[in-house]
């Protein structure tokens, strides 16, 4: 019997550290499935699932979704892709989430993006998010096709 070694990685870093961009580059070059907890939540919000309805009230207030809700959702999704290599982005964000992940899977690698605070501040100042799709723009290097309206 041949057992295949599966590679499980987590990417961490504060908002604006480039987790999404770096993840996209990694999955383009390596056979990994990228799972983002934020994207997963947005899909659930859009589809108005039970979890999506609960999550929306927290996301709209800029709060973290409760640990039990997000942990159930992410672990369930990871079990669905159990046979693949994966890169997890946005989870864990709290100690209970990390403990739950550690109990469920063996993580091979953690990528921690270490970006100077001023760089993050500059990036976030220029960052715009389209709430409906979650698409992220940057007025400096990736502006939205339709100009931003401010009042």
* Contacts to ligand AMP by CB under 6 A: 37-38, 41, 58-59, 63-65, 70, 90-91, 93, 97
Q: How far is the CB of 45 from ligand AMP (least distance, A)?
A: 9
Cβ-based nearer residue to ligand AMP, 56 or 85: 56
Cα distance between residue 82 and residue 64, in whole Å: 26
Q: How far is the CB of 38 from ligand AMP (least distance, A)?
A: 2
In order of 16, 64, 73, 112, the CA distances from 77 in angstroms are 25, 19, 6, 22
Closest residue to ligand AMP: CB criterion: 38
Q: How far is the CB of 28 from ligand AMP (least distance, A)?
A: 20
What per-residue string of b and e applies to 12-47 under the rule 16 or more CB within 10 Å gives b? bbeebbbbbebbeebbeeeebebbbbbebbbebbee
Cβ-based nearer residue to ligand AMP, 61 or 150: 61
């Amino acid at each position: 019997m041949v057992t295949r070694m599966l590679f499980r990685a987590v990417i961490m870093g504060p908002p604006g550290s480039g987790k999404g961009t770096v993840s996209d580059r990694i999955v383009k070059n390596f056979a990994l499935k990228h799972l983002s907890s934020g994207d997963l939540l947005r899909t659930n919000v859009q589809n108005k699932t039970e979890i999506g309805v609960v999550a929306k009230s927290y996301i709209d207030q800029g709060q973290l979704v409760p640990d039990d809700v997000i942990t159930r959702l992410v672990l369930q999704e990871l079990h669905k892709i159990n046979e693949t290599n994966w890169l997890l982005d946005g989870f864990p964000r709290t100690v209970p989430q990390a403990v739950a992940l550690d109990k469920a899977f063996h993580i091979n690698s953690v990528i921690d993006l270490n970006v100077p605070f001023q760089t993050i501040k500059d990036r976030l100042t220029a960052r715009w998010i389209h709430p409906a799709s979650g698409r992220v723009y940057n007025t400096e290097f990736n502006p939205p096709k339709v100009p931003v309206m401010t009042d």
